[in-house]
Amino acid sequence: MASVTLDNLTKNYGGGAINAVQNLDLEIADGEFLVLVGPSGCGKSTALRMIAGLEEITDGAVWIGDEFVNDVHPKDRDIAMVFQNYALYPHMTVYNNIAFALQLARVPKDEIDRRVREAAGILELDDYLKRRPGQLSGGQRQRVAMGRAIVRQPSVFLMDEPLSNLDAKLRVQMRAEIAALQHRLGVTTVYVTHDQVEAMTMGDRVALLKDGVLQQVDTPSRIYDVPANLFVAAFIGSPTMNLYQVDFLSGSGGEPSIRLGGSTLDLPKAVLAHRPGLARYVGKPIVAGIRPEDIRRAEDTGGAASIVGKAELLEALGSDMIAHLSIDARAVQVSSSDSLEGISATEVEGGSARCVARLSARSRIRLGDIVSVVFDRERFHFFDPETGEAIWN
Amino acid sequence: MAIVSLDGGRSDMAIRKYDREAVRRSRERRSRQRTLRHFSLHLLLILLLIVMLYPVIWMALSSLRPEDEIFGGLGLIPKTWTLQNYITGWFLFGDRTFGDFFINSFIIAGLAVVGNLVACSMAAYAFARLNFRLKWFWFALMLGSIMLPIHAQLIPQYIFFLRIGWVDTFLPLVLPKFLATDAFFVFLMVQFMRSLPPELEQAAMIDGASYWQRYWRIILPLSMPALVTTAVFTFINTYNDFFSQLIYLTNTDQMTVPVALRLFLDPSGGTSSFGGLFAMVLVSIGPVLGFFLASQRLLVRGIATQGFK
């Protein structure tokens, strides 16, 4: 087991024209499961490949345990990697695929046999050892790829989107299996994915990258509840957070409120106590965010001041109903592939904006209905409209 | 007419009549037309096949008739059946049988196959997977050599091999193959190896495989279709190569099948043994055909993978 430290890790292509990874600093503790997440092309796989030694490092350093490994060959880094396409050797049996690394290391045959069978036992592959990868299902291949990694008993697992080739159901199953396996083996793991559900459910901590720049690294719940900026807020969570351009106001007694379209919503004083930085924005426009699950129907909450919207799309999921309402507000859109400058306030025709609410499955709403909803005001998120950073201090 | 009407007035619309007999007649007519069309097409193809195969069939049957009957007419069926031509052809060359020439041909073709497989695959691996200075220049240069006519290389090559004393040995025919001189096969394998996912090698690299182990244990087994294609075409090309073997092998000890076949004919107007020639030509087709058929399945896969036709 070992920790992994990335110090100012940078990767440029084309003589510096393209910055795939910029000044990435990360400390991954011994035995930790860290998920690197971000949209396509954000540099997460490049970062992983630099840890593996498959990609030359432009600047910065990688440490595995106490060893500076920038110039260490991949085979000497004591790592095992699971690739997106599994990279199983198609001409070898499952047994030989798993045993390959041990054979190369000239481990005695009976020892190889013992370890391969042990790994196969853990992954329930005992019956498939004589088959070739082509004769296995997607989930079994994925298991073989895992087997190949664990049989070496490495210090670090590196996984590059290992579940992205599986169908949705199998992905859920394998997600749980990998997380359980990692927990059981206690091996430091760096896991790359673009799937936020994987990021939220599997990792001890999540590192969110965008355009090669680390946006936030924290526990899944903190990433969700305390996003560092607009990009993180918009990227994590499904349906995505509702973001509006609002005016931040302060009454004579210091009680804060926001003007959302034509409505004024009073905020509890505690909001200002938690976010003293908001005081600087009095009378100015800011970005306010509210997650769909923090919106309820007014009739369920005893008639607090509510926002009225027209139901334009209803998605009944069985457990919940996702209601897309058009309300009187100015929406802010964050394009995930653009930079933070891509934040723009867009107005839907007639001065209305989309509001996505996760309502009870038993809500009797029909398309076109006018629905009153209430925002949980303690759960608002506030962001600077210029920088996109969350407003705290 | 009145079946079950679920919806009152709609029943009239739902029930339609058609003439079953007319439908049957129409179906039979179409079937007759299709049979006729297939029959005509097959007849045409069979006629074309006969035209194309006639010389071969004629040669095969002529090898089974007496020498003096061969040019007696264009008829196919021999008046007298005999295997004498095979015996004459096989033993025509005094103390040597035709089997000796087969052995020589097999040695040369076999070594050429081994040489091309080893050398071309190594060169291809380097071009496909390794990084070295001026890689694309060397690759273009190698491809350029495909376009160089063989006749332009022949004289300087001959002089070179004559100077180093290799004429009248197998070496000029075999040794260059161990130096990856068949650029086409290098190209074929480069293209094949490039189509293999790079992650396989990266996985092997992390597993601790050296360059050699990655080439030998991962890339080479997966390139089997390209290797078989190379082996089959190298064998056929070398086995059938008359020109180089004629130039470099003048001694009967080293003589190969194509060169030996020419000896049946006397260009100066003396006696030519056409019966023996035909018989030995037929015998000499055997190994090529066998080799081709044995590797046909993999060969097709190799060609299909590469998009070569």
> Are residues A87 and B208, on separate chains, in Cβ contact within 8 Å?
no
Q: Is the pLDDT of residue A340 over 50?
A: no
Cβ neighbours of residue B203 closer than 8 Å, sequence gap 6 or more: A81, A83, A87, A89, A148
Residues A188 and A48 in one domain: yes
**Using the 8-state DSSP alphabet, how is residue A24 labeled?**
E
Strand A79-82 versus strand A156-160 pairing type: parallel
pLDDT at residue B31 is higher than 90:
yes
Among chain A residues, CA nearest to B213: A104
Please indicate, yes or no, whether residues A198 and A320 belong to a single structural domain of this protein.
Answer: no
**Is some CB atom of chain B closer than 8 A to the CB atom of A94?**
no
Same domain, A75 and A202: yes
Spatial CB neighbours of B215, under 8 Å, sequence gap ≥ 6: B121, B122, B125
Contact list in B for residue A81 (CB cut-off 8 A) is 202-203, 206
In the sheet with A4-13, reading across from the earlier edge strand, the strands are A18-28, A4-13, A59-64, A67-68
A175-208 as b/e: b if 16+ CB within 10 A: bebbbebbeebebbbbbbbbbbebbbebbbbbbb
pLDDT bracket for residue B108 (50, 70, 90): very high
If asked whether residues A274 and A184 sit together in one domain, one would say no
Contact B209 A104 (CB under 8 A): yes
Residues of B with CB under 8 A from a CB of A: 197, 199-200, 202-209, 213, 217-218, 221-222
- Mean pLDDT lowest for which of A103-117, A127-141, A294-308, A339-353? A339-353
DSSP letter for each residue of A298-351: GGGTTS-S-EEEEEEEEEE-SSEEEEEEEEESEEEE--TTS-GGG-EEE-BGGG
Domain that holds residue A42: 4-227
pLDDT digits (tens, 9 = 90+) for A272-328: 888 889 889 988 899 999 999 999 888 766 656 688 899 999 999 999 999 999 998
Tell me the average pLDDT across A50-62: 94
Same domain, A26 and A74: yes
Write down the pLDDT at residue A193: 94
**Residue range A196-213: mean pLDDT, rounded:** 93
Instruction: For residue A152, list chain B residues with Cβ-Cβ distance below 8 A.
Output: 207
Backbone angles phi, psi at A151, to 5 degrees: -65, -25
- In angstroms, the separation between the Cα of residue A387 and the nearest Cα of chain B is 39
Name the residue among B197, B207, B222 with its Cβ closest to that of A101: B207
Q: In whole angstroms, what is the distance from residue A250 CA to residue A48 CA? A: 47
Establish if A234 belongs to a structural domain. Answer: no
B2 pLDDT more than 50: no
Put simply, the answer to whether B218 touches A89 (Cβ < 8 Å) is yes
Instruction: Look up the CATH number of the domain holding residue A182.
Output: 3.40.50.300
Which chain A residues touch B203 with a CB distance below 8 Å?
Answer: 81, 83, 87, 89, 148
CB-based contact (8 Å) between A83 and chain B? yes
Is A392 contained in some domain?
Answer: no
Same domain, A204 and A259: no
CB contact under 8 A, A91 and B222: yes
Rounded to a whole number of angstroms, the distance from the CA of B213 to the nearest CA of chain A is: 9
Q: Is the four-CA dihedral A151, A153, A159, A163 of positive or negative sign?
A: positive
**Rounded mean pLDDT, B102-124:** 95
Note the pLDDT tens digit of each residue in A57-90.
999 999 999 999 999 999 999 999 999 999 999 9
> Is A233 part of any domain?
no
| Residue A390 within a domain | no
Of A227, A254, A280, the position where a domain reaches its end is A227
Whole-number percent of chain A with pLDDT over 70: 94
Residues A176, A259 within the same domain: no
Residues A191 and A292 in one domain: no
pLDDT digits 0-9 by tens, A342-382:
455 554 445 578 899 999 888 888 999 999 999 988 899 99
State pTM to two decimals.
Answer: 0.81
Q: Given A160, A194, A227, which residue is the final one in a domain?
A: A227
Q: Please tell me whether the peptide bond between A239 and the residue prior to it is cis, using omega within 30 degrees of 0.
A: yes
Helix (H, G, I), strand (E, B) or coil at B192: helix
Residue B296 in tokens = 């046909």
Distance CA B18, CA A87 (A): 61
Q: Tokens representing B39?
A: 């029959």
Cβ A295 vs Cβ A255: under 8 Å: no
Q: How far away is chain B from the Cα of A201, in angstroms, using its nearest Cα?
A: 27
Whether B129 contacts B219, CB under 8 Å: yes
pLDDT of residue A31 exceeding 50, the answer is yes
- Condensed to tens digits (0 to 9), the pLDDT of residues B208-225 reads 999 999 999 999 999 988
Spell out the alpha helix ranges (H) of chain B: 11-14, 20-62, 84-90, 98-129, 135-146, 150-163, 171-174, 183-194, 198-206, 211-213, 220-222, 224-240, 243-248, 257-262, 274-294, 296-306
Are A104 and B206 inside 8 Å of each other by CB?
Answer: no
Phi and psi at residue A199, to the nearest 5°? -60, -45
Residues A203 and A246 in one domain: no
How far B117 CA lies from chain A's nearest CA (Å)? 19
A55 in contact with chain B, both atoms CB, cutoff 8 A: no
B218 CB neighbours in chain A (<8 A) are 89
Answer yes or no: is A159 within a domain. Answer: yes
* CATH number for the domain that contains residue A334: 2.40.50.140
Q: Does B208 sit within 8 Å of A75, measured CB to CB? A: yes
Q: Helix axis angle, B183-194 relative to B296-306, nearest 10°? A: 70
The string over B128-162, giving b where at least 16 C-beta atoms fall within 10 Å of a residue's C-beta and e elsewhere, is bbeeeeeeeeebeebeeeeeeeeeeeeeebeeebe
**Which residue, of A227, A258, A292, is where some domain finishes?**
A227
> DSSP for B60-98?
HHHTTS-GGGGGG-S-SS-SS---HHHHHHHT-BTTB-H
Do A376 and A290 sit in the same domain of this protein? Answer: yes
Taking the C-alpha atoms of residue A23 and residue B89, their distance in angstroms, rounded to an integer, is 81
Quick check: is A393 in a domain?
no
Asked if residue B61 has pLDDT above 80, the reply is: yes
What is the structure's pLDDT at B303?
A: 53
- Whether A250 and A183 share a structural domain: no
Per the domain annotation, does A137 fall within a domain? yes
Q: Does A389 reside within a domain? A: no
Q: Are residues A126 and A268 in the same domain?
A: no
The mean-pLDDT minimum among A197-211, A215-229, B88-102 falls in: B88-102
Q: For B22-53, b where at least 16 C-beta lie within 10 A, e where not — what string?
A: eeeeeeeeeeeeeeeeeeeeeeeeeeeeeeee
Residue located via tokens 């003293």: A276
User: Which residue(s) pair with A375 in the sheet?
Assistant: A295
B218 → chain A, closest CA residue: A89
pLDDT for B177-219, tens place per residue? 999 999 999 999 999 999 999 999 999 999 999 999 999 999 9
Q: What amino acid is encoded at A263 in this protein?
A: S
The tally of domains found in chain A comes to 2
| pLDDT band at residue A263 using 50, 70 and 90 as cut-offs | confident
At residue A2, the 3 state secondary structure works out as coil
* Residue matched to tokens 């068949």: B182
